[in-house]
Chains A and B, each alone.
Chain A
């Protein structure tokens, strides 16, 4: 058996499943105890399996988690009588039922929706979801989100406290609140994905894992009929489209490669096809979302056989609609970029004049990067260099700095 190999990420995924199931059985009040117990199960497995795998590792882990649940039941029962009705007979049957695949999925959905509860601080939601749903350790979350371990610990404990204090129940919201919460779930998954895709994080592995988790969880949400909508499918499509380009965005020496210079033959076709299917599903629903538009923009880039062959006109339309909805300054900046590609330099200039870079905060350097593109396009390389110098002063990320420097050197 020594040559057997485990399914990739089996432990991580199984961790999320088991924590969700046990939380469903014992309630969110016992979350920390549950997480410790499941962690213990994995330590045991990793020692026991050193010399060879059991025939069905997943079933082994599930059985181990079930045993932990029974242990916990006994322990908690000894501590209080509140759980008196659980244990033997019908309760034991209920326990078995909870470990069936569809119930596991149901429990995981509850966990995702719990993580996105409006009483949790938005910043804490992502850390909490990565920990309890996706099975990341505190250190892994810190690495993925480029935060200090202490900051992550604080966020996790604040999330747990908010759950206790507000007595948040482990269930999906009722019909009246469901849509709003679902929208937040989509947003959080989108943010997790973006942390992976746009991250300044240089380690490709970590970025891939964040994107992978976001895709996996989006898929899980789409499994349940009353949680399906256009936004959900569009989000899934968008993630597939972006993920298809993830590897071609980075050079061998970990520099960011822009769209113009990516090797388009490296884009991963099966994911693009999956995204296409999801996008047509999205369009069969009545609701509209920013994800629809972002997916449509991504499709245009993917369809183009080269950077020059991009249908900028169509992309411009999508961005304008996006801006109408969101009033997001970064979208305005994207519109300016598209206008430059279309040689509509004057329009681009007046848009740039409308943007106050200070409003972009730590992303102000992007503004000067676009301004440099503008000057380059109208044949004023000296001014472009000045703009790039400002961008270089403002940028904090090393990969981005290297990218801007390269641009500047080309102009000199």
Chain B
């Protein structure tokens, strides 16, 4: 088994102006997905991120508001899961609930360094 990070990009509920009812329905889908992964025992870790934040970049360590970047590129959260290979990780990502809201899942294999 290898570890893969699923990174969730875009589909910010606040920006999309989802109603309370829609948000509750979305959450139901996330529960279902989380539950499925959990019962398969493949979740290593995972967090949601606040939409606000800053970026520090360049030799001058320039600080910019995250608001300056494209909202569609905003990372909303991630999971690290165990999967046999990229194909298996892709299969897991099929259930990501927010594709219909324009959300994206980026899948990256976690590097393992030989001792």
Contact = CB atoms under 8 A, between A and B. Distances in A.
A9 B21 contact: yes
Interface string A18-61: 00000000000000000000011011011111111100000000
A51 to B, nearest CB: 5
A11 B23 contact: yes
B98 to A, nearest CB: 11
B110 interface: no
B103 interface: no
A45 B31 CA distance: 13
B17 interface: yes
A264 interface: no
B14 interface: yes
B20 A15 contact: yes
Interface in A50-97: 50-53
A3 interface: yes
Nearest to A43: B14
A60 to B, nearest CB: 13
Interface in B11-69: 13-14, 17-24, 26-28, 30-31, 34-35, 38, 46, 48-49, 51
Contact of B19 (A6, A52, A137): A137
Contact of B77 (A6, A45, A47): A47
Nearest to A50: B30
A46 B26 contact: yes
Contact of B27 (A15, A49, A137): A49
A187 interface: no
A11 B20 contact: yes
A10 B31 CA distance: 16
Contacts of B21: 9, 11-12, 135-137, 140, 209
Nearest to A38: B20
B76 to A, nearest CB: 7
A31 B27 CA distance: 27
A383 B97 CA distance: 56
A6 B28 CA distance: 8
B84 to A, nearest CB: 23
A9 B17 CA distance: 17
Contacts of A49: 27, 30
Contacts of B14: 39-40, 43
A13 to B, nearest CB: 8
B23 A43 contact: yes
Contacts of A50: 27, 30-31, 34, 48, 77
Interface in B75-96: 76-77
A43 B24 CA distance: 10
A2 interface: yes
A42 B30 contact: no
A14 B20 contact: yes
Contacts of A40: 14
Contacts of B46: 51
Nearest to A7: B24
A47 B48 contact: yes
B35 A2 contact: yes
Contacts of B76: 47
B35 A137 contact: no
B17 to A, nearest CB: 6
8 contacts: A2-B35, A5-B31, A11-B23, A15-B20, A43-B13, A47-B77, A136-B21, A140-B19
Interface of A: 2-6, 9-12, 14-15, 39-40, 42-43, 45-53, 135-140, 209
Among all A-B residue pairs, the 10 with the closest Cβ atoms: A137-B19, A11-B20, A47-B48, A11-B24, A50-B30, A2-B35, A15-B20, A43-B14, A46-B23, A12-B21
